[in-house]
Structure 1
């Protein structure tokens, strides 16, 4: 149930998610890895700073609304997400809470391979915007929802065509299949890239825990570097793929639309 999540977030609270992230590449060159990654779950329109966690300013961990929502580098945060959903037909009301699951800045450094805007209404998840950034300075987002914004269930598979260059070792082909399960006990995200010749399965699983200073310090010591660590791991996996002989694809132009609906 998400009710406990919503009340905590609406009151300005933040959840710390130590996520187990796993990737498995399918096809001729199989490749897999698993890491632990620190995410925060917050409501951008209500969140408040606390101790080592800062808002809009330098800190050990920090959050800047302009890092998210819309074109990379010029984001407008939650207002962008609400506008996208309104254009898709969701009528906002006071029962809905806009939340964001993203990696925070670490000592001012920012990079998020994927963040998730999630609209919650009580115990229901109504919509998700998967905000994807590549290592070439580009961004594209995928809007996920059921017809007429019916609540998204754990068994639902939400499909959209792949439109964005993420890995230089895969073509822009095939489709993505998303699944989401959000509760106070567990948050699970599954992404499956479906392609005729190759594909990818990625999963994220975490237990949301209220943000504590001890948790932030432990994260900084156990996984130093934050987003910089994640970026270095991406390049390390790219090197491993190149050594396996996987062909490097040149960077194509960005999609003409900033979001796939």
Structure 2
């Protein structure tokens, strides 16, 4: 199974210094099975490609879905009927980068657990595992919380909390990540319709948004330049967290 998600991502900064942007992006949602269109490949060069080394484990040393299966088993998720999916931006030609990609365990069409695999332009990676204690379905209204562990943006501190709202249905992806640190933080969303990937949809993506992930990195640096001109406080590269993966939990509003 390979779906092409023609999506939009929106980011808006919380706090006194405002900044917001919305861009189009192309993701794929796949069980990493066979029978992909000719313009995308698994573990070999193509116009678009997914390589195990880029996902599931330390950055550049990934083991793909085998890593995700081990993460689930270590936490007591042993359902062999689960469909294990990767939601990510594929590499375009030689270049791969995902600010965040997701491993998703699905049963009966509903997500039961996910790992947010966060990558920084500093070359670091940290993963956040989120699920209910009993692995019941995660609905779009459920808010999963995880303590921020890694330096991602030079304009945000390594403290505070990520709040994930995770929506995956048979026809759409809707993900909301709110990073909150007092009155500071960032709201990020990813939303788009699922469609079966085809050579034509993949070719259109390459023409509509040339160079794929390289374009994403260029846009990240463009927005960093805008924040620098706005005199946003700048935090230099910080040490990577010792652990690769940390645990999230169901968020409970202290106000009731």
Q: State TM-score, norm by structure 1.
A: 0.92
Partner of 2:170: 184
* Residue equivalent to 2:64: 77
Is 1:136 the equivalent of 2:122? Answer: yes
Q: How many residues align?
A: 247
Asked whether 1:125 is paired with 2:98, we answer: no
* 1:168 match: secondary structure: coil
**Preserved CA contact (<8 Å) 2:2 2:36:** no
- 1-structure distance, mates of 2:225, 2:14: 17
1:123, distance to aligned residue in structure 2 (A): 2.2
Deviations 1:214-246 (A, max 9, x none): 111111111001000000000000000010001
SS at match of 2:134: helix
Matched, 1:160 2:146: yes
Q: Specify every segment of 5 or more residues in structure 2 that has no aligned partner in the other structure, as ranges.
A: 248-256
Q: Corresponding residue for 1:244?
A: 230
Unpaired segments of 5 or more residues in structure 1? 1-12
| Mapped contact 2:109–2:170 kept (Cα < 8 A) | no
Deviation at 1:146, TM superposition (A): 1.0
Superposed CA offset, 1:163-197 (max 9, x none): 11110000011101001111112110000011113
Q: In the TM superposition, what are the counterparts of 1:78-93 in structure 2 within 5 Å?
A: 78-93=65-80
Q: Does 1:68 align with 2:41?
A: no
How far does the alpha carbon of each residue in 1:108-163 deviate from its partner, in whole angstroms, 9 at most, with x for none?
21111100000001122100100010001110000011121111011100011111
1:23 and 2:3 aligned: no
1:49 aligns with 2:41: no
Distance (Å, rounded) in 1 between the aligned partners of 2:34 and 2:218: 29
Dislocated runs of 4+, deviation >2 Å: 47-50
- Residue by residue over 1:56-104, the C-alpha shift from the partner in whole angstroms, topping out at 9 and shown as x without a partner, is 11111111111100100100111111111111221132x1010000000
Distance 1:41 1:260 in 2: 23
TM-score for the superposition, normalised by structure 2: 0.94
Cα distance in 2 for partners of 1:225, 1:18 equals: 15
State the superposition RMSD in angstroms: 1.0
Shift of 1:206: 0.7
Q: Note the 1:144-223 alignment, pairs <5 A.
A: 144-223=130-209
Contact 1:48–1:55, Cα closer than 8 Å, also in 2: no
Give the 3-state SS of the residue equivalent to 2:9 in structure 1: strand
Q: Is 2:97–2:214's contact at 8 Å kept on the other side of the alignment?
A: yes
In 2, Cα distance between the equivalents of 1:165 and 1:48? Answer: 38
